[in-house]
Structure 1
Amino acid sequence: MFYFMLFLFVILTSLAVGFLVMPIIIKVLWRAKIGDQPGGRKIHKKFVPSMGGIGFFVAASAAMAIWGWQFPLPDIRYLLGAIGLMFIVGLRDDLVELKASRKLLGQLVAVAMVVVMGDIRIRDLHGFLGIGELHLFVSYGFSAFVLLALTNAFNLIDGLDGLAGSTGLVVSGLLGTWFAFQGLESYAVLSFSFFGGILGFLIFNWHPAKIFMGDTGSLTLGFTLGALVVAFMESNAALPEGASWRFSPVFSSGIALMIYPLYDMARVFTRRILRGQGPMTPDKSHVHHFLMRMGLKHNQVALILVFVQILIVGSVILMKDLSDHIVLPVISAITLGLGFRLDKIAVKYVKKKVSKEPNILSNGKNSNGSKKGNQKSKVSIKDFENTPINYN
Structure 2
Amino acid sequence: MRVYLFIAVVAGGITWLITPLVRHLAIRVGAVGRVRARDVHTVPTPRMGGIAMLIGFVGAMLVASRIPFIAGMFATGHQAWVIMAGAVLISLLGLADDLWDLDWMLKMAGQLLISVFVAWGGLQIISLPMGSLVTASPSISITVTAFLIVASINAVNFVDGLDGLASGIVAIGGIAFAIYSYIISRSFPTYASMATLIDVAMVGICVGFILHNWHPAKLFMGDSGSMLLGYLITCASIVMTGRLDPATIHASVYLPVFMPILLPALVLFLPILDMCMAIVRRLSHGQSPMHPDRMHLHHRMLRIGHSVQGAVLILWGWAALIAFGSIMILFFDLWRVAVGFSIAVVVLTIATMYPYLKHRLPQIAAEDRAYEAARNAARHAARSARTLPQADEREQREREHEQREQREQREPHKDQ
TM-score, normalised relative to structure 2: 0.73
Q: Provide the residue aligned with 1:207 in structure 2.
A: 215
1:234 pairs with 2:242:
yes
Asked whether the 8 Å contact 2:82–2:122 carries over to 1, the reply is: yes
1:28 pairs with 2:30:
no
Unpaired segments ≥5 residues, structure 2: 186-190, 332-337, 372-416
1:63 pairs with 2:67:
no
By how many angstroms is 1:192 displaced?
1.7
Q: Distance in 2 between matches of 1:226 and 1:199?
A: 18
Asked whether the 8 Å contact 1:122–1:233 carries over to 2, the reply is: no
By how many angstroms is 1:214 displaced?
0.1
1:279 pairs with 2:280:
no
Distance 1:174-1:313 versus aligned 2 partners, 3 A rule: closer
Q: Provide the residue aligned with 2:142 in structure 1.
A: 140
Unpaired segments ≥5 residues, structure 1: 322-329, 357-370, 376-392
Q: Provide the residue aligned with 1:267 in structure 2.
A: 277
Q: Provide the residue aligned with 1:88 in structure 2.
A: 92
Distance 1:240-1:272 versus aligned 2 partners, 3 A rule: same
* Amino acid across the alignment from 2:169: T
Q: Provide the residue aligned with 1:171 in structure 2.
A: 173
Asked whether the 8 Å contact 2:246–2:254 carries over to 1, the reply is: no
Q: Distance in 1 between matches of 2:294 and 2:358?
A: 15
Matches within 5 A, 1:46-195: 46-69=43-66, 70-73=71-74, 74-121=78-125, 123-124=127-128, 126-127=129-130, 132-134=131-133, 135-136=136-137, 137-181=139-183, 182=185, 183-195=191-203
Asked whether the 8 Å contact 1:71–1:185 carries over to 2, the reply is: no
Q: Distance in 2 between matches of 1:186 and 1:36?
A: 36
Q: Distance in 1 between matches of 2:359 and 2:287?
A: 26
Q: Distance in 1 between matches of 2:358 and 2:272?
A: 26
Distance 1:208-1:71 versus aligned 2 partners, 3 A rule: farther
Identity between Structure 1 and Structure 2 (%): 25
Q: Provide the residue aligned with 1:13 in structure 2.
A: 10
SS, match of residue 121 in structure 1: coil
By how many angstroms is 1:153 displaced?
0.8
SS, match of residue 248 in structure 2: coil
TM-score, normalised relative to structure 1: 0.77
Asked whether the 8 Å contact 2:124–2:142 carries over to 1, the reply is: no
* Amino acid across the alignment from 1:166: G
CA RMSD of aligned residues (A): 3.3
* Amino acid across the alignment from 1:221: L
- Could you say which structure has the larger radius of gyration? 2
* 1:25-50 CA distance string (max 9 Å, x none): 22232344422222411110212111
Q: Distance in 2 between matches of 1:102 and 1:53?
A: 20
Asked whether the 8 Å contact 1:236–1:247 carries over to 2, the reply is: no
By how many angstroms is 1:347 displaced?
12
Asked whether the 8 Å contact 2:156–2:227 carries over to 1, the reply is: yes
Distance 1:189-1:320 versus aligned 2 partners, 3 A rule: closer
SS, match of residue 72 in structure 1: helix
By how many angstroms is 1:320 displaced?
6.2
Q: Distance in 2 between matches of 1:17 and 1:347?
A: 38
Q: Distance in 2 between matches of 1:198 and 1:19?
A: 10
By how many angstroms is 1:154 displaced?
0.8
By how many angstroms is 1:355 displaced?
6.7
SS, match of residue 310 in structure 1: helix
Distance 1:185-1:28 versus aligned 2 partners, 3 A rule: same
